[in-house]
Structure 1
Amino acid sequence: MTLQPGYSINSTAEDQDSETALLLEEEVEKITATPKCCSVRCNLAAMMFFGFAVVYGLRVNLSVAMVAMVNGTNDQPSPKSNVSNECPVPPHTLDNNSQSSEQPDGIPTYPWNSETQGMLLGAFFFGYLFTQIPGGYLSGHFGGSIFLGGGVLGTAALTLLTPLSAQLGVKWLFALRALEGFGEGVTFPAMMAMWARWAPPLERARLMTFSGAGSSFGAFVALPLTGFICHSLGWPAVFYSCGGAGCLWAVFWFILVSDEPRTHPRISDQEKDYIINSIGSQGTPHGWSVPVVSMLFSVPLWAIIIPQMCSNWSYYTLLTSLPIYMDNVLHFELQQNSLLSALPYLAGWLFSVGAGVLADTLLERELLSVTAVRKIFTFIGLFLPAVCLLAVGFSGCSGVLAVTSLTASSALGGFSAAGVYINQIDIAPRYAGMLLGITNTFGTIPGVLAPIVVGYLTKDHSVMGWRHVFWLSAGVSAFGAIFYMIFGTGKIQSWARTDEESETDMHN
Structure 2
Amino acid sequence: MATMTELSSTEEKNKYSQDTQVDEKLILRKAPSLCSTRYGIAFLAHLCNFTIMAQNVIMNISMVTMVNSTGHQSQFNNSTEGPPVDSFGGPNNAPKSLPAGGSVFGGQFALWERWGPPHERSRLCSFALSGMIMGAFTAILLGGVISQALGWPFVFYIFGGIGCVCCLLWFVLVYDDPVSHPWINVTEKEYIISSLAQQVSSSKQSLPIKAVVRSLPFWSICFCSFSHLWLINIFIVYTPTYISSVFHVNIRDNGFLSALPFIVAWVIGVLGGHLADFLLTKNFRIVTVRKIATVLGILPPSAFLVALPYLTSSYITTMTLLTLACGLSSLCQTGVYINALDIAPRYSSFLTGAARGFAQIAAVLAPTVSGFLLSQDSEFGWRNVFLLMFAINLLGLLIYLIFGEGDVQDWAKERKLTRL
TM range (shorter): 0.7 to 0.9
Structure 1 residue identity aligned to 2:54: G
> How far off is 1:391 after superposition?
1.8
Structure-2 separation of matches of 1:370 and 1:258: 28
> How far off is 1:282 after superposition?
3.0
| 1:404-483 matches, cutoff 5 A | 404-460=320-376, 462-483=378-399
Structure 2, gaps ≥5 residues long? 1-15
Q: Which residue of 2 aligns with 1:123?
A: 96
When normalised by structure 1's length, the TM-score is 0.72
| 1:278-317 matches, cutoff 5 A | 278-280=195-197, 282-284=199-201, 287=204, 289-317=206-234
Structure-1 separation of matches of 2:407 and 2:225: 19
Structure-2 separation of matches of 1:227 and 1:378: 33
Structure 2 residue identity aligned to 1:304: I
The one of 50, 65, 70 aligned to 1:68: 65
Structure-2 separation of matches of 1:363 and 1:247: 37
Structure-1 separation of matches of 2:43 and 2:75: 40
Number of equivalences: 391
For residues 71-110 of structure 1, give each alpha carbon's deviation from its aligned partner in whole angstroms, at most 9, with x where no partner exists.
389xxxxxxxxxxxxxxxxxxxxxxx9773599xxxxxxx
Q: Which residue of 1 aligns with 2:77?
A: 100
> How far off is 1:314 after superposition?
1.1
Structure-1 separation of matches of 2:369 and 2:76: 32
The one of 330, 333, 340 aligned to 2:257: 340
Structure 2 residue identity aligned to 1:250: C
Structure-1 separation of matches of 2:91 and 2:229: 19
The one of 20, 23, 30 aligned to 1:28: 20
When normalised by structure 2's length, the TM-score is 0.86
Structure-1 separation of matches of 2:150 and 2:191: 50
Query: Is contact 1:379–1:482 with CA below 8 Å preserved after alignment?
Result: no
* 2:197 counterpart SS class: helix
Structure 1 residue identity aligned to 2:116: A
RMSD after superposition:
2.6
Q: Which residue of 2 aligns with 1:79?
A: none
1:42 aligns with 2:16: no
Q: Which residue of 1 aligns with 2:50?
A: 53
> How far off is 1:207 after superposition?
0.5
Structure-2 separation of matches of 1:185 and 1:257: 20
| 1:367-382 matches, cutoff 5 A | 368-382=284-298
389-398 vs 248-257, greater mean Cα deviation: 389-398
Structure-1 separation of matches of 2:354 and 2:198: 23
Q: Which residue of 2 aligns with 1:247?
A: 164
CA change 1:98–1:237 in 2 (3 A) is: closer
For residues 182-210 of structure 1, give each alpha carbon's deviation from its aligned partner in whole angstroms, at most 9, with x where no partner exists.
xx332111111111110000001000000
> How far off is 1:266 after superposition?
0.8
Q: Which residue of 1 aligns with 2:299?
A: 383
The one of 355, 362, 373 aligned to 2:272: 355
Percent identity over the alignment is 35
Query: Is contact 2:91–2:237 with CA below 8 Å preserved after alignment?
Result: no
Structure-2 separation of matches of 1:44 and 1:462: 47
Structure-2 separation of matches of 1:247 and 1:481: 37
Structure-2 separation of matches of 1:347 and 1:195: 26
Query: Is contact 1:61–1:226 with CA below 8 Å preserved after alignment?
Result: yes
Structure-2 separation of matches of 1:405 and 1:462: 22
Q: Which residue of 2 aligns with 1:499?
A: 415
Query: Is contact 1:40–1:267 with CA below 8 Å preserved after alignment?
Result: yes
CA change 1:102–1:448 in 2 (3 A) is: closer
Structure-2 separation of matches of 1:98 and 1:326: 21
Q: Which residue of 2 aligns with 1:147?
A: none
The one of 167, 174, 189 aligned to 1:272: 189
> How far off is 1:400 after superposition?
2.5
Structure-2 separation of matches of 1:324 and 1:360: 37
CA change 1:206–1:388 in 2 (3 A) is: same
CA change 1:316–1:102 in 2 (3 A) is: closer
Structure 1 residue identity aligned to 2:62: A
> How far off is 1:404 after superposition?
1.5
Structure-2 separation of matches of 1:68 and 1:405: 31
For residues 44-79 of structure 1, give each alpha carbon's deviation from its aligned partner in whole angstroms, at most 9, with x where no partner exists.
111111121111112111111124224389xxxxxx
Structure-2 separation of matches of 1:388 and 1:113: 25
